[in-house]
Structure 1
Amino acid sequence: MGKKISLKRNFKWMFAANLLYAFLQWLMLIIMAKLGNEELVGYYTLALAATTPIMLFFSFQLRGIQATDARDDYQFRDYFSLRVIGVFLALLVCIAVSFLSDYSFEAKIIIFLIAISKMIEGISDVIYGLLQRHEVMNKVAVSMISRGAISLLLFVLFYWVTRNFYLAILGFVLGWLLVMLFYDFPNAMKYIDKPYLTFNYNKLWRLFLLALPLGAIMMMGALSTNIPRYFIENYLSIEQLGIFGAISYILVGAARFTTAISQTVSPRLAKYYASGNKGAFVKLLALVLLVNGALGMVGLAAAVLFGEPILTLVYTESYAVYSDLFVWVMLISLFSFLGSALGVGATSMRIFTSQVPIHITKLVVTIICSVWLIEDYGLNGAAWTLAVAAFVSMVFYTTLIHKGLKNIRQVEVGI
């Protein structure tokens, strides 16, 4: 069994891994924008928007539950079995939604390929939860860096050989599969005994009922992010969706930093809360909020001061005219980073069901603002929609954390 490493070292590993992984994924999008066109980026953005909510629902946030399972209520094979069932169901739903829709054939092909990649990612993710639980984030970091580098390499290689972006995306999917089979699975075997799968249906059902609210929360969170994209594709055009997707991916990449912090500290937060150590819990959560807030402010300042040259350098001059959209996207990032830290705090408290009303409210706000703003104000209206929704979520999570801290000595699973 691997040796547990320090919280500081875990953070360094995950910070570096998320930085490199986000850059490599962003580089693939940049290649699409520079060698392809806004339409291709639009199809790719649409595929992510179509598959992500479905995959996140059927993932049931098992990684977070597993990493914060301080009382060992379930074993890895329980989490792994439910995840395998979930991702295969999600793949079937993605295929059905794609081929029953009126999307173009090109869009359907990309949706199918992205759904396969998300299925692979989901299986690797539950292994990451096992490694996170044992606080050996260096192994997660190496997997992420390898996945990003190999998938980008195969993406470029397949495109260079075929000059076909659809086959290039297939190469990208193959890269994820290779890392899962030849790195993630061998790592998991160091911390568990065979078998991976369990047929204890009663236990799986209990875990499913525990995790279902978080699955719904993850789906609603993804819908809140992606609903404006659906409206852009419907009200505006696939090319406009490509522009919005490329610029807003900067937010996705930046969120990798805060994800690194959250994933590193969540097991420690869960232990502090489970043991009733309120002071240590508050101190660590406050530190995460401070770092996330600082990152958000730096991004916002960069967009205000250097938005136009950044967009020209990264993409093309046609993107630079949307520098005001870039500023709004970075404001969204500030609210999202803070809300993400608060969400990890709530999950570490094992507060699951009470998060559902927050995300329902956020989803309703997103739909109303999308209808009201996007058709009249275009891409800026989409950004305003996401900013309002992120701010509402942040405020409600603050209230939920405050309530959880009052009950810290009365901890119950699924409060």
Structure 2
Amino acid sequence: MRIAIPNETGRTETYELVARPLPAGDYSRAFNRRVFSAAHVVVDPFTQSNPGSDAPIDWDATMAFRHHLHSLGLGIAEAMDTAQRGMGLDWKGALELIRRTKSELPDALVYSGTGTDHLDPKDVRSLDDVDRAYANQIEAVQAAGSDVILMASRALAASAKGSQDYVRVYRKALALCDRPVILHWLGDMFDPALAGYWGGANFDEAMETCLEIIGENAAKVDGIKISLLDKDKEIRMRRLLPPGVKMYTGDDFNYPELISGDDVGFSDALLGIFDPLASAAAFAMSQLASGDKQGFHQTLDPTVPLARTIFRSPTQFYKTGVVFLAWLNGFQQHFIMLNGNQAMRPLPYFSEVFKLADQCGVLRDPDLAIHRFKQFLAIYGVEGNA
């Protein structure tokens, strides 16, 4: 199986596919790590979208993908940045998404993004505004029956005068939560508006504040997901967490090593990359749970080059690669995204994603993937026949 694809120079080269998808059959869903996939949304390309209008979501395709994740034994991290939260999916659309997921999948493990994104940072007059915004979303998400991922707040980042403002706001927000939540430390490589989060001048100061919040509210904290793309920082913080508080890796560059763990401990997983890698992730986690650590690494380690390509700088546009693979793999009938984000990567990026996905076995139907990639290339005036 061959295809002609453009490289970084703009010239086409012949690529011969490996065409060996990873196993998709039966295996144990009893994992020894808690594993969430942060799931994307599928756009309805036939619905007009104007500034201020509802996000045009294809609900059937969006929910079908969540059924797929649940069937693999994965938890669903709903309405997160992978779903373009804050980049096309507003709070109204996010809440509808959360309600539908909990209604259609009542037995699934679902934690949902809960933040302050309906509050424009420019409208904040005091921290009380941030408190009310968090309270509004916490109440709505819990009423929908979902557990909470307490997302980082752009409004808080813009208005906090120092670390103790974070301590105060999180204390109030956590007091409103009925069940232990997952905190989310999202680095500025994912969202530049969150630079300096926790009020620290550097990682150590920020971590100290975050650990203070967790320590003071440990009964309300199931764990923390950190997305800093730095395994050493994650491991350092993991070793300082109070007993019973989980570290959820959000490191889309180093996840196999962090999930596998070391002599001191391991990370659970809450990853955007486990959307396009869902089948590989589930298979690898079943191997790890059975004691086959070597098999776990043999399955998951080869996916790392693909993940690093999808999440390369500017990292906030990683969703483009995620949805591209969802289309190639037949989970949706088009490659259109909210706010036109399908156009946020250059053509050679898609060529590299295609090749790396094939090489690590995550193109589940290579014939379909080739057919669709040729359709994609034709838009750019490239003939894909080798």
Q: Considering the TM-score relative to the shorter chain, is it more than 0.5?
A: no
Higher strand share: 2
- Taking structure 1 as the reference length, what is the TM-score of the superposition? 0.29
- Taking structure 2 as the reference length, what is the TM-score of the superposition? 0.30
